Amino acid sequence: MSTESSPRLGLDYVLAAQAQKHVTVNESLRRLDALVQASVVSRSTDTQPASPAEGDAYILTAQAAGADWDLMADGALAIYRDAEWAEIPSKEGWRIWVEDDQELIVHVGGVWGPLSDSITALGNLHRFGLGTTADASNPFTAKLNAALWTALTAGEGGTGDLRCSLNKESGGHVLSLLFQSAYSSRAEMGLLGDDEFRLKLSPDGAAWQDVIRARPERLDIAAPDGVWVNAVNGTAPAVRRNRILNGDFGIAQRGTSFASAASGDRLLDGWKLASAGGMTCDIAQLSFAPGQGDVPGGPRHYLEWTLTGTAAGYPAIEQRIENVDCLPQGDTVLSFHAMADRSVSLTATFRRHFGSGGSASDVLVQQTLSLSASWARFTVAVPVASLDGKTLGDGHSLALELNLQDGETSVVISLADIQFEPGDTATPFERLSFSENLQRCQRYVASTYAPAIAPGSAVMDGALRSATSGPANTAIFNWRLAVPMRAAPSVTAYSPQTGASGKIDASGTDLAASILSTSTNAIAVQSASHSGVDLAAVHLFATAEL
């Protein structure tokens, strides 16, 4: 330890029996005058001033030059006093105000830098104003044109996440963001006096209207004019998103059960067995138990596809969607629920068939999915390629095919809520009413039988009625279709009494039936000649499927 000067400021001590003690004391006072409440003219001046004022001080640069400054160290304080320059070496932690920069600097690690660079923590501040003055009502205030919050990355020791938490004392208090225009409130969102998330709007800052109210199990749209939406997943709200016909398997105009179906057989409306693949295929419409939770949205039916034996090909069910251009170019998505009685692979394929005289078919996507013994939702992205350069022929269509692999063995597969829609997001299944679903199906299949009654059943309900009279005692039936069909249909007549095809019933007698005319909206049928006047009846089944 030095016995001649102080350790921090280097102030010389007055020694015992020292002569001229005032010299030592005055030198220490000069040093204190320079260092206490220290201030320098500049820390960027390179040339020693020619006419400095008494008390002027500088922090020397590495380029400092002059008769006296040449002898002094970089970063030291040069102080002009008593008509000469004196050097004071800088020490760690010294703080000095720089007059020309209007900045407080600190000596850290052998160099001078802004004091703000050394501040790493602030705590227990009562007010903070950024670009403006904070007050008691707004102890944190910022006046600026842009703000950025960004996550601390993993490479910087963070997680890469950013979560801003806002907290209130209890449920009855308010936690919100308030949006103002010219300091007049226009919108507020948050937990406004309870624990439900709300958004409310105001035209004047005084009258308020709740717009959205959300809770974990429900979302309420409280706006008095309702919701205005241009598109849902790329489709106008008035237009049905789902391009699959009878995707919930609710319409069964051919009946609900198909035992030992053969390749090409039509099944539930819109669906056919494209190939049995050498297996025995039994297909049926089954009903969900009320209140089940395996498939959301409250579906009533699903399709059960029972395959027995070993596949010698690719067993497949298929739906052909009318018009290959039914979806715009770009992103589309298939979604459905499925399960099997054992683990099995099911392949979803989308093909474009360009119709008679059109371009060769192509495949948009083919994806294999793994089914298990529990219901699961599957999604398949289907990029729709451009039709540029393609030729569209008669009956062009887009086909969805669900198939097993060659060599597969016995399995039971269940399918529900199949949806194909534009966009890159699979939305919840678009549930239609039974009547709307039936009307969509009647463009392709029409029947006088009640829904779910197979053609050829011996039932009178729904049969057309006429008397055997007119020309040669024949019965003539005119059937105005409820929905115009895709094309003039193929029509089969059935006797309601016996279920025989190509027949009408005349009070218990089957008579041969002939189709007089067919069009997209009407069908006329005439019976063979019959003696006497009897009440005749007939069931008709018309198809115009792809």
Per-residue pLDDT reduced to its tens digit, 88-147: 889 888 889 999 999 999 999 899 999 888 777 778 889 999 999 999 999 999 999 999
- pLDDT score of 49: 95
More confident position, 532 or 530: 530
Task: Check pLDDT > 80 for residue 533.
Answer: no
Question: What's the mean pLDDT when you consider all of the chain?
Answer: 92
Helix (H, G, I), strand (E, B) or coil at 249: coil
Whole-prediction pTM: 0.66
Rounded alpha-carbon distances, angstroms, from residue 327 to 357, 363, 397, 418, 442: 21, 15, 11, 16, 21
- pLDDT score of 218: 86
Cβ-contact 345, 377 below 8 angstroms: no
**Within 13 Å of residue 252, how many CA atoms lie on the same side as its CB?**
19
Which is it for strands 330-340 and 376-384: parallel, antiparallel or unpaired?
Answer: antiparallel
Rounded alpha-carbon distances, angstroms, from residue 86 to 62, 76, 106, 415: 17, 10, 21, 94
- pLDDT score of 8: 55
- pLDDT score of 13: 65
Starting at the earlier edge strand, list the strands of the sheet with 362-371: 272-275, 316-322, 397-403, 344-353, 362-371
The string of pLDDT tens digits covering residues 305-332 is 999 999 999 999 999 999 999 888 899 9
The string of pLDDT tens digits covering residues 74-96 is 999 998 988 899 898 898 888 89
Task: Check pLDDT > 70 for residue 279.
Answer: yes
- Residue 525 has phi, psi (to 5 degrees) of -130, 145
Helix (H, G, I), strand (E, B) or coil at 518: strand
- pLDDT score of 139: 94
Cβ-contact 142, 131 below 8 angstroms: yes
The string of pLDDT tens digits covering residues 144-184 is 999 999 999 999 999 999 999 999 999 999 999 999 999 99
- pLDDT score of 1: 43
CA distance 367 to 65: 78
Cβ-contact 537, 496 below 8 angstroms: yes
Which is it for strands 209-215 and 301-310: parallel, antiparallel or unpaired?
Answer: unpaired
- pLDDT score of 3: 62
CA distance 479 to 481: 6
* DSSP secondary structure, 62-125, as one string: TT-BSTTGGGS-TT-EEEEETTEEEEE---TT-EEEETTTTEEEEEETTEEEEGGGG-----S-
Place of tokens 């004047």: 204
- Residue 408 has phi, psi (to 5 degrees) of -65, 150
Count of beta carbons in the 10 Å neighbourhood of residue 155: 7
CA distance 460 to 458: 7
Cβ-contact 299, 248 below 8 angstroms: yes
Exposure letters 414-438 (e unless 16+ CB within 10 A, then b): bbbbbbbbbbeebeebbbbeeeebb
- Residue 32 has phi, psi (to 5 degrees) of -65, -40
The string of pLDDT tens digits covering residues 233-253 is 666 666 788 999 999 999 999
The string of pLDDT tens digits covering residues 478-527 is 999 999 999 999 999 999 999 999 999 998 999 999 999 999 999 999 99
The string of pLDDT tens digits covering residues 1-50 is 456 765 555 666 667 667 777 666 667 666 775 567 788 999 999 999 99
